[in-house]
Structure 1
Amino acid sequence: MATEPTASELVDDFNAAIATLTAPGAPFGWTVRDVNGASVRVYDNAIPDMRAVWAMSAAHGDKDYLVYGDERYSYTGAHARVRALAHHLRTEHGAGPGTRVAISMRNYPEWVLSHWAAMSVGAAVVGMNSWWTRPEMEFALDDSDPVALIVDGERLERLGPARDDIPLIATRHDGELPATARTWDEVADPATAPETLPEADIDPDDDALIFYTSGTTGTPKGAQLTHRAVVHNLLNMVFLTACGDAARARRMARSGHEEPPPEAPPVIAMLPVPLFHVTGCNCVLHTVTIAGGCLVMMYRWDAAEALRLIEREGVTVFTGVPSMSREMLQHPDWENTDTSSLRSMGGGGAAIPTDLVRRIDDGLSQGRPGVGYGLTETAGVATAISNEFYVANPSSVGPLVPCMEARVVDEEGARLDPGQRGELLLRGPNVMKGYLNRPDATAEAIVDGWFRTGDIAEIDAGGWIYIKDRIKDVVIRGGENIHCSEVENSIYELDEVAEVAVFGLPDERLGEEVAAAVVLAPGADLDEAALAEHLEGRLARFKHPRRVWLLDEPLPRNANGKFLKRELRDRFAPAP
């Protein structure tokens, strides 16, 4: 009887698959080239730009592309609308290389189609955070100076009449529009669409997307992501699927089971995260599009609605932040919902606690968990791992994608040896060009071609990466560094816990003290004494939270689903 492969054997299979797929002449072979002043690895078979990616998708014809509520858009219908809007943007607003088109709306189909129209004429898409207030919206518009703003009714009302200097294209708006505004349905009418897109001379290093950092502290910075960067992230996503398949085939051959691989299921992906971030746009939308898949969109995140859509649409891929997966697994409807279509469940945006990796693996009848690591500034994933390879190594975010390089450095910038902990630096073609209009911030973030992630990590001897924490997400208690994620992971082992955020509070004696805000699962019974008993023996006592709040309302999050720890600190900090 065949024995289950060990974790080290699975790692060997994955690394061997990487070597095969990236060899000279292989599909993901690469060459070192100069990009924006840095020597980086560039895929030999890279698609030239995102316009070409969109053009390729026309071959999918009448297949469903977008599903939103009762609305459905085929690839053919989507292309007609994109052509109409692209010609309007070019002829009426002069959109093209070197210009920008801003989009401010919820996850509506119009966001997707507007984004393709703008990029297809060579304009950079400015993805505005739909949670922003009016002053934040005005800051981004002043900073990015778009030739047009495509906006939904809710954000148009929020912006008010003050910005009559920017041409508006409005959608899903019931009120009276400004005299200078046009409706999206009018300018993206498929009945008026020319047969081809406007011509556009796009350089791979032209800006394709500008996404603003979350802005939880300070002024948001617009990360300039080029066509080369976004294309390379897309190819990285394709590579990860191919690598998993190749590693699995190698493992099966080694065990004597050389059966043909099962037919890949259709790509039907749920979009529970915002399109104005790289996870939703670059890692979900773009991947679905190149695969000829279907994107199932949500008005807002709701675990019950997500489960209903998974069953109704036969969703095969769920990519969100970890808390979303946990909410679905803990939801009362989980057991009564047909989730057998799911082949992958996970995502990024935050480290996935190891207990959640196991819960996903146990909870899916046909699928496995997956995780990706990256940042806005890397246009998407820098590492990723899924399926049995992730289950066997749940504390890792996997190896680097082939076009990326990494190193870990100490506080002085000196490179550390494998297994040592320090700041993770990344270099590759999908690193941003810079922060828009912020040369000082760019120079601080990118040093000699290496992007400073601000994440604490270890790289093992085999090149697999382990994210330990954010540099700014460390509590320094009496000179001891306490990594918040370590404490959170231990608390998450309790079934009674739905959400937890660990953070530091000022302490006169120790500098900082560990605090935790805990949201209990429905019907759960847990007190501070039981929590302390659980942590005893799991964590050194200096890591135990000295202040605990047991809450019955969800923790505050930003638009990308991450907990707002600064808001929690302000809420629970002792009065001066």
Structure 2
Amino acid sequence: MHYTELLKAREELTGPGGDFEIVEADVLGNKLRVYKNAPPSIRELWLSTLQYAERPYLVYEDETLTYAETHQRTNALAAWMFAQGVKPGDRVAVAMRNYPEWMQIYWSCASVGIVVVGMNAWWTPEEMAYALKDSEPKVLFVDSERLERVRAIGDIGDIKLVGVRLPEVPDDVMAWDEVIAHGGEMPAVTVDPDADACIFYTSGTTGFPKGAQLTHRGCVANLFNMMFSSASTALATQWATGEVPPEEPPVPVGLVCTPLFHVTANNCAAYLITAAGGKIVLMYRWDAGEALKLIERESITAISGVPVMARELINHPDFEKTDTSTLASLGGGGAQLPPDLVQKIDSQVATARPNTGYGMTETCGIITSVSADFFVDKPDSAGPAMPNFETKCVNEFGEAVPQGEVGELWVRGSSVIKGYINRPEATAESITDGWLHTGDIARIDKDGFIYIVDRKKDMVLRGGENVYCAEVESTLYRHPAVAECSVFGVPDDRLGEEVGAAVVLKDGESLTAEELRAHSAAIMAKHKVPRYIWFLNALPRNASGKFIKRDLKEQLTKEMDNAEVS
């Protein structure tokens, strides 16, 4: 394989005068690696896309907006927000499906220093209420489903409501069309690179999610990381094989299948397509058959999704009948791509190469990336770290272990978040002198490729969504019949993992799995509700009285027939 060429390509591209030259800069009190040529904020990135004015940009069902039309709307929205007294540093929240309005709100706010709070569209009223109180937005943009949940909260204070695609607009809600009709120019402001760009919530280990502060510098650096990954892979392959890439690469057309309130869709897919003047195609909800139709209709070149989506596409009965010849890359983020799927993508999709990235909300997107021949050669790897990161695997004392040995992966770089809003203790626990503790157990090979081998955090990774076991356990304990419980991940072919729970009831109490799920669904989002429930007489404990979760998980996943399954 071409690992010597890859190392040489990475050094040339990041060295003095390279397109991705790396220098050191002071970032919030830490000396970190930054891209010398990166724009200072998201504002400059978005304004640069005016050069693509007549190109189609946002596609949803039978609607298409050009870049020029989108800029007109983002300008009008920014002018309207300033007229409402919403200023740089203030927050606005977005709670909706992947509608075109999501991206318009995002670019508009980011361009004037207003912070976007991405609210998980699956949240229950209780979860939404927590995030609204935590983030204190001035404006909340909602679709009809989320508006119903806001109503269930009751009083939300002085937050102004803007309704998107509502069948009827209540008197206390302003219609999106009315906001856009405001017109106006984009206010002239200077945005601090280290100011918050957005707040994306990550599942909490103690029952409530944490609002991660993604900065402008971090989000732009993530874009450069993705562009660098493509450029270094292409250059190494060219040197090794003599294959010269086209001078004018095709304009990207991306099918975005995961929620825009996550970095996978917003910071990775949308940024990369937008920066290149490409077209973003959105779906109401994931459906493999519908996705195949869109691949053919819109000439999709790349699909951004979780691994299960790639598998469902390939396995769909219409796959062989669909023209997928425009697809250049297929893969996923948010979860590890199983090695067999890497091989299937490479062998069954004639024009597409497999790709993946490993990252976190806390790094504004990817930490590593790998594609094409390198991914096929090391299908169980997450790829090498991007050049703005320092990486190390550490032992329980935070000391670096020798290369090739296993330890918790720590990373340090300009796309690590500033911290968690209102959670100084959680910030201090997760970030040490700029080093982010990923919570993933990894090893790094001689070529610099990172392998994620286990998870330190007590977490289930369900279809790209992090579900913290402690959060689910705290919800189950709120049922008066539950004496003890232990939550863990159950392997699942489709989603990677499903949520499982072992439950011990209080003496004299009775409870069905359906009743426990109904209790859980009223408190937390549906994807966190246990699919597998075992009712036991006792849970195994060690000498200090702690539950032995690993033993419990191994025992119960062998006894799947005994589980009560939703």
Shorter chain as denominator, the TM-score bin is 0.7 to 0.9
Which deviates the most, 279-288 or 30-39?
A: 30-39
Q: Aligned ranges for residues 23-422 of structure 1 at < 5 Å?
A: 23-92=15-84, 94-160=85-151, 162-179=155-172, 181-189=173-181, 193-194=183-184, 196-215=185-204, 218-253=207-242, 259=244, 261=246, 263-422=248-407
Cα distance in 1 between the residues matched to 2:288 and 2:22: 41
What residue identity is the alignment partner of 1:115?
Y
Tell me by how many angstroms 1:276 deviates.
0.3
Cα distance in 1 between the residues matched to 2:260 and 2:286: 13
What residue identity is the alignment partner of 2:210?
K
Tell me by how many angstroms 1:386 deviates.
0.6
Question: How high is the TM-score relative to the length of structure 1?
Answer: 0.81
Does the 8 Å contact 2:164/2:176 carry over to 1? Answer: yes
What residue identity is the alignment partner of 1:205?
D
Cα distance in 1 between the residues matched to 2:539 and 2:352: 46
What residue identity is the alignment partner of 1:19?
E
Query: Aligned to 2:2, what secondary structure does the other structure show?
Result: helix
Tell me by how many angstroms 1:164 deviates.
4.8
Tell me by how many angstroms 1:32 deviates.
1.2
1:261-292 deviation line (CA, Å, top 9, x unaligned): 47522200001000001011000111111010
Tell me by how many angstroms 1:193 deviates.
2.8
Cα distance in 1 between the residues matched to 2:281 and 2:204: 28
1:426 maps to which residue? 411
Query: Aligned to 1:434, what secondary structure does the other structure show?
Result: coil
Does the 8 Å contact 1:124/1:209 carry over to 2? Answer: yes
2:532 maps to which residue? none
Q: Which runs of 5+ in 2 are unaligned?
A: 461-487, 503-537, 543-547
Tell me by how many angstroms 1:367 deviates.
0.9
Does the 8 Å contact 2:234/2:245 carry over to 1? Answer: no
Q: Go from structure 1 to structure 2 and tell me whether the alpha carbon gap of 1:473 and 1:391 turns closer, same or farther (over 3 Å shift).
A: farther
Does the 8 Å contact 1:269/1:294 carry over to 2? Answer: yes
Q: Go from structure 1 to structure 2 and tell me whether the alpha carbon gap of 1:127 and 1:513 turns closer, same or farther (over 3 Å shift).
A: closer
What residue identity is the alignment partner of 1:228?
R
Q: Go from structure 1 to structure 2 and tell me whether the alpha carbon gap of 1:246 and 1:216 turns closer, same or farther (over 3 Å shift).
A: same
Query: Aligned to 1:230, what secondary structure does the other structure show?
Result: helix
Which deviates the most, 47-56 or 31-40?
A: 31-40
What residue identity is the alignment partner of 1:501?
E
Question: How high is the TM-score relative to the length of structure 2?
Answer: 0.83
What residue identity is the alignment partner of 1:169?
V
Query: Aligned to 1:336, what secondary structure does the other structure show?
Result: coil
Cα distance in 2 between the residues matched to 1:10 and 1:514: 42
Cα distance in 1 between the residues matched to 2:221 and 2:417: 12
Cα distance in 2 between the residues matched to 1:348 and 1:504: 26
Q: Go from structure 1 to structure 2 and tell me whether the alpha carbon gap of 1:369 and 1:65 turns closer, same or farther (over 3 Å shift).
A: same
Q: Go from structure 1 to structure 2 and tell me whether the alpha carbon gap of 1:30 and 1:136 turns closer, same or farther (over 3 Å shift).
A: same
1:307-349 deviation line (CA, Å, top 9, x unaligned): 1111111110011111111111112221221111110011211
**How large is the RMSD of aligned CA atoms in angstroms?**
2.5
Query: Aligned to 1:416, what secondary structure does the other structure show?
Result: coil
Identity of aligned residues (%): 46
What residue identity is the alignment partner of 2:207?
G
Query: Aligned to 1:431, what secondary structure does the other structure show?
Result: coil
Q: Go from structure 1 to structure 2 and tell me whether the alpha carbon gap of 1:327 and 1:217 turns closer, same or farther (over 3 Å shift).
A: farther
Tell me the matched-pair count: 496
Does the 8 Å contact 1:456/1:470 carry over to 2? Answer: yes
What residue identity is the alignment partner of 1:143?
D
1:172-192 deviation line (CA, Å, top 9, x unaligned): 11234133x321111113xx5
Q: Is 1:547–2:539 an aligned residue pair?
A: no
Tell me by how many angstroms 1:499 deviates.
5.4
1:561 maps to which residue? none
1:413-445 deviation line (CA, Å, top 9, x unaligned): 111011111100010000000000100000000
Cα distance in 2 between the residues matched to 1:445 and 1:260: 41
1:54-90 deviation line (CA, Å, top 9, x unaligned): 1001110111101000010000100001111110001
Tell me by how many angstroms 1:200 deviates.
1.3
2:10 maps to which residue? 18
Query: Aligned to 2:31, what secondary structure does the other structure show?
Result: strand
Does the 8 Å contact 1:40/1:429 carry over to 2? Answer: yes
Query: Aligned to 1:415, what secondary structure does the other structure show?
Result: coil
What residue identity is the alignment partner of 1:64?
P
Q: Which runs of 5+ in 1 are unaligned?
A: 1-8, 476-483, 517-541, 551-567
Does the 8 Å contact 1:82/1:117 carry over to 2? Answer: yes
